[in-house]
C-alpha cells in the first residue's frame, strides 16, 4: 500500500507561523491537504507551502504510544522540580547541569531566541546538535486511523496538540539511544509541557510561566550516540502508530 508524506509550513515576514505534517494513503490526500491549509491559514501569513511526497522507504509500524500520565502542580517551579528529579533519575546528569539546560529552553536556547528544533544533550550534559540555532526536528510520524485516536483523546479531555506531541515523543523514545525528552511550547498561553521516558509521557502543568514566549525541546541521548544516524532516523524514517495508551 502506498503512503504519502504531506508537510505544511506557513510564515509571515519570514517568521514561522505554523507547521504540521501527516502520513496518509492516496485516498486521504485531498482531505488532508484541505485540513492542513485551514490549519496553516488560521493566522495572517504571506507564505504557505504544502509539500507532498510518496514514501519509498520502509515504514516502521509501532503498536502503541508511550503511556500518558497527567500531573498537576501549583506552579511552574513545582512542576519543573518534578521534571528535574525525573530527568536526573533517567539520565544521571547532575541537577545543576540539568537546571542550566532547562533554563536555556525557558529563556531562548538559540542565542536568546527559540531554536527551530530540539537540543541534543548527552549523559555528560554536553550539547551535540550540529547547528545550535536550528537544532533537530523530528518528522515523518503519524497515526493509522488518526481521527479515531483524536476522538479518543478528546473524549478523555486532551486536545489534538497532545495527539501530535505524543506521536513525536513516541517516535523519539523508541530509538535506542534516546533516553528522555523535555518540552515546553513557545506559545505564551499554553503552559502544559511534558517529560517523556522510555515508558511514559508525563504531561506536567503548569511547566512554564504564563506570557513566556520561549519554548523548545531537549533530547537526552547516550554518550556513544552516532549523531548522523540519529539525525537520519529523526528526519527520514517514517513511523506509523497503531494505538494510544492512556494511563
Q: What are the tens digits of pLDDT across the range 190-212?
A: 999 999 999 999 999 999 999 99
The verdict on 86 and 15 lying in the same domain is: no
The verdict on 64 and 144 lying in the same domain is: yes
Strand order in the sheet with 216-221: 119-122, 216-221, 178-184, 193-196, 200-205, 60-72, 239-246, 141-143
Domain hosting residue 225, numbered range: 60-246
**How sure is the predictor about 131, in pLDDT bands with cuts at 50, 70 and 90?**
very high
User: pLDDT (tens digit, 9 = 90+) per residue, 46-66?
Assistant: 999 999 999 999 999 999 999
pLDDT of residue 123: 98
Of 180, 182, 178, 172, give the one whose Cα is nearest residue 225. Answer: 178
The verdict on 210 and 156 lying in the same domain is: yes
Q: How many domains does the chain have?
A: 2
| Residue that finishes a domain, picked among 54, 74, 90 | 54
Entry pTM: 0.94
The verdict on 41 and 72 lying in the same domain is: no
The verdict on 69 and 122 lying in the same domain is: yes
**How sure is the predictor about 76, in pLDDT bands with cuts at 50, 70 and 90?**
very high
The verdict on 50 and 70 lying in the same domain is: no
pLDDT of residue 141: 97
8 A C-beta contact, residue 141 and residue 236: no
pLDDT of residue 42: 87
Q: What is the overall mean pLDDT for the chain?
A: 95
The verdict on 68 and 8 lying in the same domain is: no
The verdict on 64 and 139 lying in the same domain is: yes
Amino acid at each position: 500500500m502506498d503512503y504519502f508524506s504531506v508537510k505544511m509550513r506557513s510564515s509571515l515576514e519570514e517568521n514561522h507561523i505554523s507547521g504540521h505534517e501527516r502520513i496518509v494513503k492516496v485516498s486521504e490526500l485531498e482531505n488532508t491537504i484541505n485540513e492542513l491549509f485551514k490549519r496553516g491559514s488560521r493566522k495572517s501569513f504571506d507564505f504557505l507551502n504544502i509539500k507532498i511526497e510518496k514514501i519509498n522507504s520502509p515504514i516502521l509500524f509501532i503498536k502503541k504510544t508511550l503511556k500518558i500520565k497527567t500531573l498537576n502542580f501549583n506552579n511552574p517551579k513545582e512542576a519543573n522540580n518534578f521534571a528535574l528529579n525525573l530527568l536526573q533519575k533517567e539520565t544521571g546528569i547532575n541537577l545543576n547541569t540539568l537546571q542550566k539546560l532547562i533554563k536555556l529552553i525557558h529563556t531562548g536556547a538559540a542565542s536568546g531566541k527559540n531554536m527551530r528544533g530540539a537540543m541534543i544533550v548527552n549523559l555528560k550534559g554536553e550539547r551535540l546538535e550540529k547547528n545550535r540555532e536550528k537544532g533537530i526536528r523530528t518528522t515523518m510520524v503519524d497515526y493509522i486511523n488518526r481521527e479515531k485516536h483524536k476522538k479518543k483523546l478528546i473524549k478523555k479531555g486532551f486536545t489534538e496538540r497532545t495527539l501530535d506531541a505524543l506521536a513525536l515523543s513516541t517516535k523519539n523514545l523508541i530509538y535506542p539511544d534516546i533516553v528522555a525528552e523535555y518540552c515546553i511550547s513557545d506559545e505564551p498561553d499554553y503552559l502544559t509541557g511534558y517529560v517523556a521516558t522510555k515508558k511514559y509521557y508525563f504531561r506536567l502543568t503548569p511547566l512554564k510561566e504564563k506570557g513566556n514566549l520561549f519554548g523548545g525541546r531537549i533530547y537526552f541521548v547516550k554518550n556513544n550516540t552516532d549523531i548522523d544516524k540519529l539525525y537520519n532516523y529523526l528526519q527520514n524514517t517514517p513511523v506509523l502508530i497503531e494505538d494510544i495508551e492512556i494511563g
